[in-house]
Amino acid sequence: MTESITESIAEPLLKLHQQRLIYGQRQLIVLSGQSEWIERQLNEITSALNGDWITLSPHLAGATLPSKATVLLGREFLHGIFDAQSGCYAESMAILVGTLKAGSVLILCIPEWDAWPLQPDSDSLRWNEAHGMIATPHFVAHLQQSLCNDPDVLIWRENQPYILPTLTPAVPWCAPQGQATPQQQQILSTLLAAERGTWGIIAARGRGKSALAGMLIEQWPGSCWCCAPAKITTSVMNQFTHKAPRFWSVDSLLAYCLAGGEIEADWLIIDEAAAIPGPQLKQLTAYFPRCLLITTVEGYEGTGRGFLLKLCASLTDFQALTLTAPIRWAPNDPLERWLNKALLLDEKQPDCRTIDVPDQIQSITQRQFIDSPPLLEGFYGLLTSAHYRTSPLDLRRLLDAQNMFFMVSKRQQQIIGALWAVDEGNLSSMLSWQIWAGLRRPRGNLVAQSLAAHSYFPLASQLRSRRVSRIAVDILYRRQGIGLALLNQLAKQSACQQLDYLSVSFGFTPELYHFWRRAGYRLVRLGSHKEASSGCFVAMMILPLSASARQCFQRAEYMLQRDVYWRKDRQQLGLITGNDQIVNEQSEYEQSEYKQSEYDQRLIDEDWQELAGFAYTHRSLAASYFAICRFLATTNGELPILRLYCEQHLSLPVICQQLKIAGQKQGLTQARAELAAALEQQQPQRMNYWRELITTFYR
């Protein structure tokens, strides 16, 4: 049915809504045009259809910002608006879709159709590593394909007629009226009979996970406590129980448990568990006899699959439970089907194994992903199934971010290995030294900047490098050397392109470390604090390709060995002098003067550089920590703040309180001044050189 461009959409849309409601389905409407025209249509449609009209927009009045979309998790609404006129926050759109009930209409507002691919996208500021907004033609082309190829989507472009979708007759649908579905009842019976253990209800949005938790609270004869990133996410859960379970924030409950508080609950129920750092979840589950973790694995927040791959695998008594039938809308819902296609949310299922066929490794461009949808689905699907951080934001980066490099390993046209890398470095000497001095932190260049900002080598950000961001191998083909073959081919191509080195950054585990060692990479940096998201130290490893890079990173490896001596946690890491399986392995310079580097704590050029950096620039205390430790061991000077920090291992806030210093900023200023005074007394000529050099950083 084609409507004239002047005829009101209200009446035909109301009829369509009533039909969708009967079938338990939801409708996507796309409004494409100038903002004034879109606003007129929004006013007409929202006036005709009663509902919540929850709105995500950076501009529309009364809307929630797309960046705050997580406040909607665990809630339900009738009708919604997603404003993508200035930028498309893909994961926020997915969250909004998951909150809409059967019969809902979602209005997607986009720029004028033909101009959209060339318009700068504000969301690119989050994920593109270069400076400024960029247009995202490949992602837009992908979305436009998904919209045009779906007959259930109503697209209305300004100054053009719209076509109402033709509904396929379906069985009338009734939402569960508070009673458990057969799937829910089966899981509920299991949980009610549980004596001990940890369970996880893992399912897509709208499958009744929170409702099932509420039923458990209602029917359990004892006490249940609830925990979530935000209390509002438990609103659906509370609709299914007359009881009032005690709610805790994550930090409050963990502090209570660590302080030895009495555990009065039989169950701890954690809603939106995938949004909570894994180490905190693992700690909490140890305090309760029974735990129920509720989460999705669709990756809206980039942590869903990490919940499965990391946390669940680490719990000996974990049991996964799955809900597949939707209860917030009918099966085969048009809106859910479109979203899964547009954002590639359906998990890739392993194909049948092929054997005795040689692998083909080839480079891929972003344009090829759009020209070949199966290639995009295979590549992104492999990353999603194998990597715990893959989310819709990564789909945006993959398609349009600058300086991306991709490789695939194929067997009979089936993608069995995927590699994603990012070009870094090639920064000017001045900018590199400003990064080292703590004066600049431009976007991007993760490893190159980190080695300049936190290690001894501004040169690292001046060299041309390529960082491996993701690498994944199909589960059916692992432990066949496919990942190593991809890395070997990457090294060959990068060397031909005259890059200086390859790099990788990851949460340190022995398994990952030894994989990268087999690929020839050397450990040059190990973070001093564990990441909240992974519970691991950040490790950075390097594969030098040029002579200048080899010389630089031989020295970096040597400096890391020396620094290990001063780590408070070195025994925990297994970094024990003379018996070290991580840092002190056979290396190119094993027989050199640096063989006993961990014992050699003399002050050398890199140490004086670090000491001057802390004393005269904004170099951080953490970056200069090891050099300061070596200096304190060679001097009798008082340096009270630095001795308390490095020798007594007191935190800066505690030191400031103990020495009656007005705040950490003032404490840091005094620490720099006391080090500068000691250096100028002992090494006046050396410090004059550094002061003169540092003045050039501020030009």
User: CATH number for the domain including 648?
Assistant: 1.20.120.890
362, part of any domain: no
Cα–Cα distance measured from residue 205 to residue 97, given in angstroms and rounded to the nearest whole number? 9
Q: What are the DSSP E strand ranges found in 203-289?
A: 224-228, 246-249, 267-270
Residues with Cβ within 8 Å of residue 337, at least 6 apart in sequence = 150, 152
CA distances from 36 to 31, 156, 221, 534, 688 (A): 11, 14, 57, 45, 63
* C-alpha span between 278 and 254 (Å, rounded): 13
Domain assignment of residue 417, yes or no: yes
**282, 194: one domain:** yes
Residues 148 and 29 grouped into a single domain: yes
Q: Is 364 annotated as a binding residue?
A: no
Residue 533 lies in a domain: yes
Looking at the structure of the chain, the number of domains it has is 4
Q: What is the pLDDT of residue 216?
A: 95
One domain, residues 532 and 478: yes
Assess whether 22 and 85 both reside in one domain.
yes
What pLDDT score was predicted for residue 279? 74
Residue with tokens 């009032």: 244
> Do 542 and 425 sit in the same domain of this protein?
yes
Query: Is 518 annotated as a binding-site member?
Result: yes
Q: Give 11's DSSP letter.
A: H
Using the 3D structure, point to which of 565, 592, 615 is the last residue of a domain. 565
Sign of the alpha-carbon dihedral angle for 588, 591, 596, 601: negative
Q: Which residues of the chain are under the pLDDT cut of 50? A: 1-6, 300-304, 306, 575-581, 583-596
DSSP run (H or E) holding 197: strand 197-202
Check residue 290 and give its pLDDT: 95
In this prediction, residue 394 carries a pLDDT of 92
Residues spanned by the domain of 13:
9-157
pLDDT of residue 339: 95
Quote the pLDDT of residue 297. Answer: 61
Looking at residue 307, the DSSP 8-state letter turns out to be I
Task: Look up residue 318 and give its DSSP letter.
Answer: E
433 and 549 belong to one structural domain: yes
Q: Are residues 266 and 414 in the same domain?
A: no
Q: Is residue 595 part of a domain?
A: no
Same domain, yes or no, for 228 and 138? Answer: no
Residues in the chain, overall count:
699
Q: Tell me how crowded residue 239 is: count the other CB atoms within 10 A of its CB.
A: 12
pTM exceeding 0.95: no
All residues at 6 or more sequence positions from 603 whose CB lies less than 8 Å from its CB, including other chains:
627, 630, 631, 634
Find, among 129, 134, 127, the residue nearest to 446 by Cα: 129
Q: Is 270 annotated as a binding residue?
A: no
Is 213 annotated in a binding site? The answer is: no
The C-alpha angle 337, 338, 340, rounded to 5 degrees, equals 65
Q: Is 522 known as a binding-site position?
A: no
Asked whether residue 110 falls in the same domain as residue 205, the answer is no
pLDDT at 318: 85
Domain boundary among the residues 536, 565, 594 is at 565
Whether residues 123 and 196 share a domain: the answer is no
Query: Smallest Cα–Cα separation from 99: which of 66, 63, 72?
Result: 72
Residue 560: inside a domain: yes
Q: What is the spatial distance between Cα 584 and Cα 389, in angstroms, rounded to a whole number?
A: 31
Do the domain assignments include residue 330?
no
* Residue 259: partners with Cβ closer than 8 Å, 6 or more residues away: none
Q: Is residue 34 part of a domain?
A: yes
Q: What one-letter code names the amino acid at 308?
A: L
State which H helix or E strand residue 189 sits in: helix 182-192
Say if residue 446 is in the same domain as residue 507.
yes
* 423 and 498 together in one domain: yes
Q: In this structure, what CATH number is given to the domain that contains residue 448?
A: 3.40.630.30
Q: Is 96 within 8 Å of 69 (Cβ atoms)?
A: yes
269 carries a ligand binding annotation: no
- Determine, yes or no, domain membership for 43: yes
Q: What does the pLDDT read at residue 347?
A: 65
295, 322, 349: which is the final residue of a domain?
322
Q: Is 473 marked as binding a ligand?
A: yes
